[in-house]
Amino acid sequence: MQRLVIDLVSDVVCPWCYLGKARLELAIAEVQDEVSVDINWRPYRLNPDYPPEGVDQQAELAKKLGGKENMDRAHAQLTELGKEVGIAFDFDAIRVGPNTMDAHRLIHWAGTESREAQEMVVSSLFKANFEQGLNVGDPAVLLDIAAAAGLDRKVIEQLLKSDADRDLILSEIDAAQQMGVNGVPFFIIDQKYAVSGAQPAQVLANAFREIAAEKAEEQRKLN
């Protein structure tokens, strides 16, 4: 069985990233008997200028999308798409638009423990923001998520109080932008292929099969 590694560039306040994650999981389930897929979560910040305490989400997003009507229309579309993959978007519950630097630091630290821990943290961050209306820029929320994923709460608390790995997160985002990533989600497969946007599960599954077949053919030629 061929093994593919996906570097998934995303932000935890990006609804299309949450949708893309759910669709990716469906695609992986579809090809699980044919292709093995590992995921590394990579950072991106949609709102790098937001202050540490965050902003009024409803006001800022309406401004960004050109008015409340546009915002409501986009949310209605996403809510319907979410239902198809088991996501219960609750956009009205999101009061704070957070700065996601600390969330990305937490994802990175979880990744140093295991892919499983990182996956748990990422899932919890998306759910906290989009389904529970929690502020994922709040250290208390981040600590609860870290502890639930099996990370050492006291260690994470000390790390959050420090500047640990801020430069690393910024350099990863810069590297992604240098590669041409200007929107998320963005899937980099085996550091060779790129898929942009929250593609349908079937599109991703087919891409995985094609890439795996190509890898198998390359290996056959080498032997």
> What does the DSSP 8-state code read for residue 188?
E
The mean per-residue pLDDT over the stretch 121-125 comes to: 98
Sequence-distant (6+) residues with CB within 8 A of 181 are: 9, 44
Mean pLDDT of the chain: 97
Tokens 């497969």 found at: 189
Closest CA to 146 of 6, 173, 136: 136
pLDDT of 223 > 90? The answer is: no
Closest CA to 187 of 6, 3, 4: 6
> ∠ CA 105-52-63 to the nearest 5 degrees?
110
pLDDT of 99 > 90? The answer is: yes
> ∠ CA 47-51-53 to the nearest 5 degrees?
115
Closest CA to 31 of 188, 213, 205, 187: 205
pLDDT tens-digit readout, 180-193: 999 999 999 999 99
pLDDT at 70: 98
Task: Give the 3-state secondary structure of residue 186.
Answer: strand
pLDDT of 221 > 90? The answer is: yes
The mean per-residue pLDDT over the stretch 92-101 comes to: 98
pLDDT tens-digit readout, 21-66: 999 999 999 999 999 999 999 999 999 999 999 999 999 999 999 9
- Which pLDDT band holds residue 124 (cuts at 50, 70, 90)? very high
Q: What percent of the chain has pLDDT over 70?
A: 100
- Which pLDDT band holds residue 142 (cuts at 50, 70, 90)? very high
pLDDT tens-digit readout, 21-31: 999 999 999 99
Domain definitions of the chain by residue range = 2-222
pLDDT of 216 > 90? The answer is: yes
Class of domain 2-222: alpha beta
Sequence-distant (6+) residues with CB within 8 A of 46 are: 11, 13, 14, 100, 184
pLDDT tens-digit readout, 170-180: 999 999 999 99
Tokens 């502020």 found at: 135
- Which pLDDT band holds residue 117 (cuts at 50, 70, 90)? very high
